[in-house]
Amino acid sequence: MEWHVFDILSMVGTVAFAVSGAVVAMEEEYDVLGVFVLGLVTAFGGGIVRNLLIGVPVTTLWSQKPLLTAAIIAIAVVFVLPVAWIRHWRRSETFFDAIGLSAFAVQGALYATQQSHALPAVVVAAMLTGIGGGMIRDLLAGRKPLVLREEIYAVWAMAAGLVIGLGWADSTGEYLMLFTAVVACRMLSAHYKWRLPRRSLRHAFAESVHAVRPVPGGEGNRKQTESEGADPS
């Protein structure tokens, strides 16, 4: 397989994720160190978690010098960019995020298959590589992970892992087709706001709390008021 194609895609995805983390850090008013930490965690957090899962040494991160350099430069640039430029980048964020998700999901699945892992491990490796960095970013920023709450996101990474794990794609051309399909699905889900079924208990629990809460001016409060107003003699 010719890896140079996915090296380019990984570079684009790494830069996109690094900038995403840096922008979130600035939205939360982190200092410059926090901006760099959150940007790097977003770009490489998913790959680190994947390596821990499938038994690849975490130290392989330090062999990715071009990606690390690109991420650091991207974070430094976005930190000094005018706000208007950052807003312009945010308009294209979904597209670059989709590229990163797809490229990392495919590479995560390939890493797992090279380690001869079973299909479930391949699917999980693809998912964690694609969404792990974003989840860690949101947790460090004190936010609920958006990748599990907004439009369909993690499912596309899992689908890429499933296709590779089942052997339905095993050549450069087929990997590129899979990559393109994942990008397209992610963009469509973002455009049409596709969501997985959800069941919220917040409203039901809120109603139950209100049902047992004493009503102001009720019988209990009236008795208490009468007792407090009674003559101590």
Express each pLDDT in 168-187 by its tens digit: 998 888 999 999 999 999 99
CB 98 within 8 A of CB 183: yes
pLDDT tens-digit profile of 80-127? Answer: 999 988 888 778 888 888 888 998 999 899 989 988 999 999 999 999
Q: Is the pTM of this model over 0.95?
A: no
Could you tell me the residue ranges of all domains in the chain?
A: 4-192
Residue spans of the chain under pLDDT 70: 1-3, 209-233
Going by C-alpha positions, the residue among 149, 162, 159, 147 that lies closest to residue 184 is: 159
CA distance 189 to 159: 14
